[in-house]
Each structure stands twice: as C-alpha cells, then as structure tokens.
Amino acid sequence: MTVQNPLREGQTIRRPAEPCTLVVLGATGDLTGRKLLPALYNLSRDGHMPSRFAIVGFARRPKSDDEFRNDMFDALKEFSRAKPEGREQADAFLSNVFYHQGQLDSPDDFRALGAHLDRLEKEKGLPGNRLFYLAVSPEYFEPIVSAMRDANLAKPRNEGEWVRIIIEKPFGEDLKTAKELNRKITAVFNESQIYRIDHYLGKETVQNLLAFRFANSIFEPLWSSRYIDHVQITMAEEVGMPGRRGQYFDKTGITRDVVQNHVLQLLCLTAMEPPASLDADSLRDEKVRVLRAIRTMTVDEVKANVVRGQYGAGSLRGEAVPAYRSENQIEPDSVTETYVAIRFNVRNWRWAGVPFLLRAGKRLPKRATEIAIVFKRPAHEIFDVDHEFKRPNTLALRIQPDEGISMTFAAKQPGLATTLQPVQMDFRYGSSFGQASPEAYERLLLDCIIGDGSLFTRADEVEEAWRICTAIQQAWDQLPKPTDMPNYEAGSWGPKEADKLTSDLITGWRRL
C-alpha cells in the first residue's frame, strides 16, 4: 500500500510512520553512535520520522540527558551521512533524545524504565508504540527479554498500539543455540514483534537485486540451469581485526560471522522463485525454500566442497600488515578461518546441477561484494572461442563499493580478422541516479517503525542458515586441526587450494 507521507508533500511512502518511542538498549556502545543515532538523525532530516517521537538511550553508565546528547552530537558530526551544520540544527533532533541508566538484566531497572517511558509519553503526547533496539552483545539477549517480560514491557498496553524489538547479530552461534534463542524470545514476543536484523538486506543494491530480477522480463527466462553455468558470490574485505574485534572474531570465524547471514541472504535473493508479492511473508517463504534446498553436508562433502584459510603477514595497498595470529586479542596458535570458499548445490528444479560458489575473506586485496552469474557457452561454437572460454557471458551485480551491474559479452574486434574480444555493458548506480543512498540502518529502522518486516529474517530462515553452517563447523571440529595455517598472504585472493572448487567450471574464481 502506498500513501502520501503526511510529513512531506508529494512524497509517497508505503505506510505512515506512527508516533513512537525508540529505546536503544546498550546506548553507550559503538553501534549506537556509529550507526543508530546517525541513521535516526538522517531519517529525521529527510522528513521520514514520525511527527512526534522520543529516543531513549538505556545503559549501565550514569549519564544525564545532556551528557548523552553531547555524546550523540559528537557521533553525528563524525558518522552521520548528512553532517549537522551546527549544534542548533542538531538540537531540533537531539531535543527528542533522553537517557535512562540501568542494568541490562535487572527487571527492577526495566520497571523504572517503563515508568520513565510512561512519563515521557504523557509529556510528549505520544501513544504507547515502542521499539526496543537490542544493541548489546548476545549474552544479554535472553536476560533483556526476560526482564522486559517481568517489567510488563513486552506487550502493548492499549488496543492499536505496538511493541517491537530489533535484535542484532549474532543470532546464536550454531543451530542449537539459535533454536534455543528463538524459543526463549518467542515465549515472550510474537514473531510479528521480532525484527532480526541483517544489515545487508538494508543495502540499496541488495534490494535492487529484487528489482532487477522481478521488475524486468528479459532476465527471468535465462535464470536457470538451462542457461546458467554457475554462480559466484564474493564478499571480500580489506580489513583485518581493528580495535577489539579479534575478541569476538577469534571465537566465531568468517563462516559464522558473515556467511551464515549476509552471504546466504545474497544467495537466497539470487536463487529464489518470484514471490507472489513483496510482503514480508511471501518474500521470506521463498528465501526459506532456497535454504531448504541446500543439503546438510557430511564430513566428506565438507572436505571436498569447503576450503578454509587464514591470513599470514602480507601487504595491502603497499603497506605491510601483520598476520592474523599477531593481531590484537587473537590466540597465537589460532586456527580460526578468516577466509572460506564453499561450493553448494541448490537442489530444486530451477538450479539442478548449477554450482553456487561462495567466498568470503578478510585481508583480501580489495573491499568488494559481488554476485556473478556466469552463463553457459553457446550450444554450437562457430568462432574461434579462445577468448570466450576465459570470459564467458557474465552478469555481475556489484553490491559494494562500486555499486552497479555489468554484462560481459563477446564482440568482434574491428579489422579484417575475425577475432573476438570480451566487452562490457555497464550500469553504475551512482552516475545513473546521482544521489546518495540512505545507509542500510536508515532503511531498516524506518521499516521497523512502519512495521514492515520484509527486510528482516524470520526464525525459520535463521535456523535453516545455521543448519547449513553448523554442519561445516561440526565437520571441522571432527577433522584433525589444520596444520597449514596461515595459508594465504594478507593482500592476496585467498588460499591456492580454493581453486580446486572451480577446476571443472568454464572459468575459475573471478578476479575483481
């Protein structure tokens, strides 16, 4: 449904944003200042926030409203997409921001928070619509949910009002813990109140994938095993382990950190059947079907289809960078994988026999996330096809940072000889639209305020993704500890061994 946005003449939105209160639990953490408050500030500047709202930061440290506002002003200056021109401009927004001190696992402190919210809502004439953002480390998810239940904060008090929670990743650390967490949360909240965030789904170009596939008629007929040879999904990062990141990462590894969520989401959007509509459940039903069509791997299948790696010392952009094992907070003999490449099959009618190759890695030569659809060779070759063998028709959907879509095809070089050369048709998001995209968190926060869960993951989706990744982790736990780590140099494209996954395909891993 689209309606006129009451806040902006001529601008339509899917649903109006109703007045509400946003409570950020863990408000003194990194995420609040870097992402959440800047996103809310930008939404407010662009006229997308409700006509009336309050934002309440909740955390352990004692702080006054003014102190919290000052911290958030500094955060806006540093991290906001649109920087405030001065304090006055920011104050229009910051005057809606408040602070409440409390322990994250104390029902009494949540009762006091409830009383604070009641007061604020009364003063500001707000209804009891409340959005709780769990910007905390995962060990607090359960205590917070129980404290909210005990303090009567989990359900709306009046007819027509809503209470929603947003949960950050990691959502569990394997299938068992994810199921357990889902069970505990759904004992207190209905599924429709729960918004599990995967910030990749908030990225413009990820959403554009849906538009590309389902708002055009020319690609869909080609989108199957009949014409597609294989699919490559890459999430390459330059970063290593900045700050205290290693503490979390060394216990997690790249498979659980980004494959279980971001990379498998990209695979789902690439492989899913057209949904009946864009509503949350139609979309999520189709994504879950894709995950269900991926088999749980046995230990032998993991050995054959998964390659893990860890970076040693190397150089990136001309600067020496240390080995993973020498990074801050990493065990000196760690075998945690900083790179993984996986070959899957999606076992359904559309994708029978089409390999899906996924790879994700830290300290690769450049930051790039891309989905490449590699097409089969023509059924009957009439040209000297040397070049085409190396560069088959490929549709590359660049998610970031150079957002766009390109199609590679063969063209005849000018001249008397019949020599073919691969050329590209290129669409660039930035130059075609020329406007800054909202940050993923802007989109996702607004969607949650208006009650649209289509870009959030449902319980069954999270569990299916964990089923796939947990099998890999369990196989590694059963196999002897790798003795070849580190097995790729920082600044290279990962371990040589990953090439075995593409050896029977018409092209190897793409060089991005």
Q: Which residues bind ligand BG6 (CB under 6 A)?
A: 169, 237, 257-258
R_g of the chain, CA atoms, integer Å: 24
Give 310 or 502: the residue with its C-beta nearer to ligand BG6.
310
Of these residues, 48, 262, 380, 387, which one is catalytic? Answer: 262
* Closest CB 94 distance from ligand BG6, rounded Å: 26
DSSP 336-392: --SEEEEEEE--STTTTT-EEEEEEESS-SS-EEEEEEEEPPPSS--S--HHHHHS-
Which has the closest alpha carbon to 171: 257, 103, 249?
257
Closest separation between CB of residue 200 and ligand BG6, Å? 7
Whether 48 contacts 93, CB under 8 Å:
no
User: CB of 42 within 8 A of CB of 82?
Assistant: yes
Helix (H, G, I), strand (E, B) or coil at 309: strand
262 catalytic? Reply is yes
Compute the least distance from the CB of residue 140 to ligand BG6, in Å. Answer: 17
28 or 261, CB closer to ligand BG6?
261
Q: Which helix (H) or strand (E) holds 39?
A: helix 37-45
Nearer to ligand BG6 among residue 71 and residue 173 (C-beta): 173
With respect to ligand BG6, which residue has the nearer C-beta, 17 or 321?
321
Q: Kindly report the backbone phi and psi dihedral angles of residue 263, in degrees, each rounded to the nearest multiple of 5, phi listed first.
A: -70, -40
Q: How far is CA 471 from CA 179, 254, 303, 477, 483, in A?
A: 15, 15, 12, 10, 21
Query: Which is closer to ligand BG6, CB of 14 or CB of 367?
Result: 367
Residue nearest to ligand BG6 (CB): 257
Toward ligand BG6, which CB reaches closer, 84 or 240? 240
CB of 252 to ligand BG6, least distance (A): 8
β-partners of residue 316 are 319
Shortest Å distance, C-beta 135 to ligand BG6: 13
Q: Give the Cα separation of 191 and 361 in Å (integer).
A: 33
Closest separation in Å from C-beta 80 to ligand BG6: 17
Contacts of residue 491, Cβ cutoff 8 Å, sequence gap at least 6 = 314, 315, 316, 321, 363, 364, 365
Report the catalytic residues. Answer: 262
